[in-house]
Amino acid sequence: MDYQIEKRYERLINFLTDYIYTVKIENGKVVDTFHGLGCVNVTGYTSDDYKRDPELWYRMVHEKDSKTVLAQAQRALKGEDVEPIEHRIIHRDGSVRWVRNSIVITRDEYGSAIYYDGLINDLTNLKKAEEAAENRKKQLIQAEKMASLGVLISGIAHEINNPNNYILLNIQLFQKIWKDIQPILEDYFKENGDFVLAGMLYSRASQKINHSLEGILSGSVRIQKIVSSLTDYAKLDSGKLDENVDINKVVDMAVTITNNMIQKSTSKFSVSYEKNLPRLKGNSMQLEQVIINLITNACQSLKNRNGKISVETGIDQNKFLTIKVEDEGVGIKEKNLKHIMDPFYTTKRDSGGTGLGLSISYNIIKNHKGDLSLHSKPGKGTVALITLPIN
């Protein structure tokens, strides 16, 4: 063969993603096999490798698919027609490849199988594309859910805000009334002694009424703050990173929104704000979403209410803004920690986890030119550290 033609032929072989193999059969047993030259590109092994080691093909089949592949081969050896199957193989370089294995049987005049020819199609890139499309579909579904949740939150916040404004307005009026009437009641008490007010002696009721009015006002103001936070959280995100973001305010809003979960999860929650932090260019709503996710994860990791959670803002030696969320929860195993930022990878599948929270959070921080890292020890807890550059 001409040298140039031979080189061109070799280059062509290197681009093959399909190849044919042949299995010779005698009395229902394999006596010889042949793998076409394209096998080296699909599997990493040459035709000679398969010739020297007849069991190589079965050993390289992924363990989860070995039963299916063996069953197909055994049926073919018996002369039964078999449907094509898709399965995984372990490439010589250790990577996992997907292939489609189609078998055509040749029989003698008595109907016994004497050969079967197989066509191997490399489906790896197709499978990756299908997986990417499925991931995008799931992300779109999740995005639609979040958009619907935003509309729902906005509506609920509006419904809460109306009666709360009524409470807030009237409690301030009652405080003024009580302030005006209390001196009169005090004079009456001094002249006539104790008397019953609202089923209680005035000497006890007076202090209780003061505390009650202050408590109602404080609670109503707190509702107002929560509603405001929810309303801001539900607003349509512009996606732009052009705000002058106050990190302390972002963390405070996140703590307000997650306060109910925090109170249920731990009796040892603390938050520390570094004073006079510089502002950064970014998107406050997106950053708030990240902090909410990290606090939520910390709460869910605790075994009981004795476990601590702390949130802290600051600035490091490189003049980066920092947000640290630390918990004394169950921690994350090292094998999971390597993949914890991957989309749809979750250790909480049984409890409804989607595996999107940390992946989305990581991308948000990366879009802000920052970094999100997790340091964890099983049984000891986890530290989530965000670093953000000051623009």
- Residue 283 belongs to a domain with what CATH number? 3.30.565.10
| Domain match, 260 and 206 both | no
Quote the CA–CA distance of 376 and 329 in Å, as a whole number.
10
CA distances to 179, 205, 206, 230, 231 from 197, in Å: 16, 7, 9, 40, 41
| Domain match, 266 and 328 both | yes
Predicted local confidence at residue 98, as pLDDT:
93
Predicted local confidence at residue 61, as pLDDT:
92
| Domain match, 85 and 168 both | no
Predicted local confidence at residue 227, as pLDDT:
78
Quote the CA–CA distance of 262 and 255 in Å, as a whole number.
8
Angle 195-198-201 from CA coordinates, rounded to 5°? 35
Quote the CA–CA distance of 289 and 258 in Å, as a whole number.
11
Tell me which of 122, 155, 170 is where a domain ends: 122
Tens digits of residue pLDDT in 156-175:
777 787 888 888 888 889 98
Looking at residue 68, its amino acid is T
| Domain match, 213 and 282 both | no
| Domain match, 244 and 372 both | yes
- Residue 18 belongs to a domain with what CATH number? 3.30.450.20
Tell me which of 100, 122, 144 is where a domain ends: 122
Looking at residue 118, its amino acid is G
Tell me which of 122, 148, 173 is where a domain ends: 122
Tokens of 163: 């009666």
Q: Is 103 left (phi over 0), alpha (psi -120 to 50) or beta?
A: beta
CA distances to 243, 312, 384 from 368, in Å: 12, 19, 17
* Residue 44, domain extent: 3-122
Predicted local confidence at residue 280, as pLDDT:
92
Predicted local confidence at residue 350, as pLDDT:
47
| Domain match, 191 and 247 both | no
| Domain match, 253 and 390 both | yes
Q: How far apart are the first and last CA of the chain?
A: 65
Quote the CA–CA distance of 362 and 370 in Å, as a whole number.
9
Angle 361-364-366 from CA coordinates, rounded to 5°? 110
Give the 3-state DSSP-derived string for 46-71, with helices as H, strands as E and coil as C. CHHHHHHCCCHHHHHECCCCHHHHHH
Entry pTM: 0.49
| Domain match, 254 and 391 both | yes
| Domain match, 118 and 144 both | no
Quote the CA–CA distance of 228 and 219 in Å, as a whole number.
14
Quote the CA–CA distance of 259 and 256 in Å, as a whole number.
5
| Domain match, 84 and 166 both | no
Cβ-proximal residues to 353 (8 Å cutoff; 6+ apart), any chain:
346, 347
Total domains in the fold of the chain? 3
Going from the first residue of the chain to its last (391 residues), give the mean pLDDT of each consecutive group of 10, the final group possibly shorter.
52 62 87 86 89 87 92 89 92 92 89 89 87 73 60 71 85 90 91 88 87 88 78 63 90 88 93 93 88 91 93 92 94 77 57 58 89 90 92 71
| Domain match, 276 and 216 both | no
Question: Quick one: which of 103, 125, 116 has its CA closest to 42?
Answer: 125
| Domain match, 232 and 291 both | no
